[in-house]
């Protein structure tokens, strides 16, 4: 089957004869191609099915599902065991592994939540930082006082230095703004202070806002999310450059018979905090409650759960790298064809012929058939290659329109190819790609047929006359 439909258009309407018209009134023939849409599953940067605590080349439970994002969580003690000596080699190795696996790295830093007594570095407490001893899960734990100057100085230094090293890194995917609460989830539910037997309180609002500010400043060039449970964070998500994350997708009554996240919390929290449209400028990420096996065991409606995430304009889904339940693969694949952004070229229109020194306008009609926009500054690229030598360097190319912010629906772009005076005559292949500006190689896959080994989509031909 052909990868596109080719239509050559001469003059629209009736003309008596070419000889009866001045030369300037004779329309040059045009070409209009309609690429064939593909339903293939593929990974694209800034979205998709996430692996958890491992990479795609380590995750047997992917079973062929594409993944462009590897999500990790670290306790502070794991990344700065000595004061001022952050374990940058750990992050460097993770970023390098992500690249080898065809992924990018997402991470969160946490200050409490494991089974250990303390999840901040020992040296912080040894320096005299105040804190609270509490019980959770039958064990004693200690969390620092976030208003203590020793904590502020050390933790903000950690955030700042991580940003200096990794903000804008080509293999960095997503920052999950943590620090506060159990597992960095902005709550201390189920905790009891040892001395007062009262629940552990969250840090004061001023401290929580300062932590959000610190992460946003340190990672200004990186996509960011904050957990939906943070009311102060969510109230800022409508106008700050970050999105949100929810970690219990699928809960239809696993904690209570009268309350669950899906019916009683997520949409209400978005409405109450004014964050319903935050997805238009920053990503939405979901993590399964337990994992999908629990959904199947509890007879929860898996199509409904996935459609719920799509209605929230999700870009990421994390199933904790757990096995898929039997019979769910088809629903997962349906979900992945809508998750995040998915770009289709509906048609390409350009002159059929050109001459040296001409400017050739290439008009492209796009459609984002996903539920969210791309959030990164990838660019539309159009190039001409000699048909006789497809691997030759392009004679001319245009890299112009950014796809960042393309909401679901149609978009039109016009790229200008400026032909050099010395261009040889002959037949040329016109190829389209979506590239990163730095290396100018295709980075985003399109949902059309005909992708070549370099990631370009040859869609049409142009004749260059002598």
- Amino acid 3: pLDDT: 73
Res. 17: pLDDT tops 60: no
CA atoms within 13 A of residue 117's CA, in its CB half-sphere: 4
The residue whose two tokens read 């290659």 is 385
* Beta bridge partner(s), residue 390: none
- Amino acid 12: pLDDT: 33
pLDDT in tens, 35-78: 999 999 999 999 999 999 999 999 999 999 999 999 999 999 99
How far apart (Å, rounded) are the C-alpha atoms in residues 110 and 108?
Answer: 7
- Amino acid 13: pLDDT: 32
For residues 138-147, give the mean pLDDT: 97
* Residue 211 near residue 205, CB atoms below 8 Å: no
DSSP states of 406-432: --SEEEEEEEEEE--TTPPPEEEEEEE
Question: Where is pLDDT greater, at 210 or 13?
Answer: 210
Asked whether the CA dihedral 39, 44, 46, 51 is positive or negative, the reply is positive
pLDDT in tens, 162-216: 999 999 999 999 999 999 999 999 999 999 999 999 999 999 999 999 999 999 9
pLDDT in tens, 314-324: 999 999 999 99
Superfamily per CATH, domain 48-336 = Glycosidases (3.20.20.80)
pTM exceeds 0.85 for this model? yes
Res. 334: pLDDT tops 50: yes
Pick the CATH number of 4-39+344-464 from 3.40.980.10, 2.60.120.10, 2.60.40.2950, 2.40.30.170: 2.60.40.2950
Domain boundaries of the chain, sorted by first residue? 4-39+344-464, 48-336
- With a pLDDT cut of 70, the percent of the chain lying above it is 94
- For the ranges 17-21, 88-92, 278-282, 404-408, which has the lowest average pLDDT? 17-21
Strand order in the sheet with 139-144: 139-144, 131-136, 192-193
Q: Provide the terminal-to-terminal Cα distance of the chain, rounded to the nearest Å.
A: 33
Question: Where is pLDDT greater, at 203 or 1?
Answer: 203
């Amino acid at each position: 089957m052909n990868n596109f439909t080719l239509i050559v258009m001469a003059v629209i309407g009736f003309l008596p004869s070419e000889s009866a018209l001045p030369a300037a009134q004779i329309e040059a023939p045009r070409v209009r191609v309609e690429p064939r849409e593909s339903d293939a599953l593929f990974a694209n940067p800034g979205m998709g099915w996430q692996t958890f605590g491992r990479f795609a080349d380590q995750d047997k439970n992917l079973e062929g599902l594409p993944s462009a994002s590897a999500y990790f969580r670290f306790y502070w003690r794991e990344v700065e065991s000595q004061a001022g000596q952050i374990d940058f080699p750990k992050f460097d190795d993770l970023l390098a592994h992500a690249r080898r696996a065809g992924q990018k790295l997402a991470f969160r830093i946490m200050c409490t939540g494991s089974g250990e007594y303390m999840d901040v570095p020992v040296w912080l407490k040894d320096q005299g930082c105040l804190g609270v001893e509490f019980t959770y899960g039958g064990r004693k734990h200690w969390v620092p006082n976030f208003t203590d100057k020793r904590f502020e100085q050390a933790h903000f230094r950690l955030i700042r230095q991580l940003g200096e090293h990794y903000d804008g890194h080509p293999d960095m995917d997503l920052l999950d703004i943590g620090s506060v609460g159990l597992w960095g989830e902005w709550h201390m539910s189920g905790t009891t202070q040892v001395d007062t037997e009262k629940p552990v309180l969250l840090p004061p609002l001023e401290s929580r806002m300062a932590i959000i500010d610190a992460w946003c400043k340190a990672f200004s060039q990186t996509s960011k999310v904050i957990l939906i449970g943070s009311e102060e964070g969510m109230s800022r998500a409508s106008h700050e450059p970050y999105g949100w994350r929810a970690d219990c997708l699928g809960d239809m009554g696993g904690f209570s018979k009268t309350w669950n996240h899906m019916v009683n919390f997520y949409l209400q929290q978005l409405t109450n905090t004014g964050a319903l449209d935050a997805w238009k400028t920053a990503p939405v990420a979901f993590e399964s409650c337990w994992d999908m096996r629990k959904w199947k065991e509890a007879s929860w409606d898996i199509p409904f759960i996935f459609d719920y995430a799509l209605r929230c304009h999700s870009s990421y889904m994390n199933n904790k790298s757990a096995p898929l339940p039997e019979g769910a693969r088809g629903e997962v694949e349906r979900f992945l064809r809508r998750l995040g952004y998915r770009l289709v070229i509906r048609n390409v229109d350009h002159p059929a012929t050109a001459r040296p020194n001409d400017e050739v306008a290439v008009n492209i009609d796009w459609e984002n058939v996903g539920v969210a926009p791309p959030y990164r500054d990838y660019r539309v690229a159009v190039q001409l290659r000699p048909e006789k030598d497809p691997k030759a360097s392009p004679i001319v190319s245009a890299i112009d329109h950014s796809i960042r912010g393309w909401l679901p629906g149609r978009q039109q772009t016009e790229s200008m190819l400026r032909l050099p005076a010395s261009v040889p005559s002959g037949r040329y292949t016109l190829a389209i790609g979506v590239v990163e500006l730095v290396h100018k190689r295709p980075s985003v896959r399109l949902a059309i047929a005909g992708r070549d080994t370099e990631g370009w989509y040859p869609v049409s031909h142009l004749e260059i006359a002598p």
